[in-house]
Amino acid sequence: MSDAKKNLGEVTSESRREHSERAPSVEDDSEGHLIYKEGDVLQARYEIVRTLGEGTFGKVVEVKDLQKDNEVAALKIIKNVEKYREAAKLEINVLEFMHSKDPEGTFLCVKFFDYFDYHGHMCLSFQMLGISIFDFMKENCYLPYTLSQVRHIGYQLCYAVKFMHDNNMTHTDLKPENVLFVNSEYDIKYNAKKKRDERTIKCSDIRLIDFGSTTFDHEHHSTIVSTRHYRAPEVILELGWSQPCDVWSIGCILFELYTGFTLFQTHDNREHLAMMERILGSLPYRMTKKTKKQKYFYHGQLDWNEKSEPGRYVKNNCKPLGRYMVCDSDGDMNLFNLIERMLEYDPTSRITLKEALEHPFFSTLPDSQKLPMESKNEDRERSHSLSR
């Protein structure tokens, strides 16, 4: 699958040698990023074309693979920092496992090609994709996607994550930034009423990326996972989590694609829970009594002052879920029914992705966009995170 000739253990020892013998021309900046320029060639193979993005982990660059007729790829260059190197090795294990289960990328997870160590920087090469569904929306003045686009993107996202769930994995960091268009070319039209150009994506095919936080069922489960806005209540309440926490995140993503804004725009646990109650109704007593986070509750009820400044903010900025519907067409109502079932508080009652793909919202998907439904381990026993 990959052209890497060493296993991860060998790469690690080789990495220490390379690091101590690194060429004088190889330098890092103060944060541990590799210093490079356009035209540099890594591993006598990957010629750097341009920088695509940057994160806490490192940078992603567009490269030409000189061993494959200058085929374009995306190369993730990890910082020369021990904790990021170790995290990259965990991600490589996940990517290689996923490739063994789906070598052709049928299940819409980004194709992983290769990895190597470059003077202390773990480097991972992937298929080249377009921009994220978040960046497209941001560059388009946060204009929501059309209902048919929400349907197609949502269907593909459920399909990709279901593949992970069927193979005993939880992604744990689903968010619009981690869903990329295969090709982000667009048509443009001037909106005279709003006096602006508006973009429409030409093809809504997507791929799922970033498996750095993916957790196998048998592995240790960190207490807190997911980016704040997409974090499930069982995670906030530290009740244990499994695959259903991904379903919650997808519900939040569908809402965001439909409206153009984040459902839970907060950075505070108590306020987050208050927003949930304002939008979805009261948290179940069973969950509030079982949580270790009793400081947020009084006699099983959320301890929240609606007359405080944060209380007024939540009241003014949040409303019951159904009131966000733009119109009451069958499609809109089906979408909101699906979102509501994905945002079920109790993870044991939350809709599964197998059930989600059979939901009426996706029944009007054109045949050309439908995907084969078989997947290995589909009938795996359902996890119940509250019984952990």
Crossing angle between the packed helical segments 330-342 and 147-166, to the nearest 10 degrees: 30
- Residue environment code for 348-378, b if the CB has 16+ CB neighbours within 10 A, otherwise e: eebbbbbebbebebbeebeeeeeeeeebeee
Q: Is 162 annotated as a binding residue?
A: no
Q: How far is CA 234 from CA 116, 146, 276, in A?
A: 37, 31, 12
Chain centroid to CA 111: 15
- Around Cβ 67, how many Cβ atoms within 10 Å? 12
**CA–CA separation, 48 and 111 (whole Å):** 19
- Around Cβ 16, how many Cβ atoms within 10 Å? 11
Q: How far is CA 14 from CA 3, 5, 6, 287, 346, in A?
A: 16, 12, 9, 49, 47
**Residues in a beta bridge with 126:** 74, 112
CB-based contact 249:232 (threshold 8 Å)? yes
Catalytic-role residue among 65, 102, 166, 173:
173
Active site residue 173: yes
Matching residue, tokens 């996202």: 157
| Distance from the first to the final alpha carbon of the chain | 36
Give just the sign of the alpha carbon dihedral 269, 271, 277, 279. Answer: negative
What's the number of CA atoms in the CB half-sphere (13 Å) around residue 221?
21
- Binding site members for ATP: 76
Active site amino acids = 173
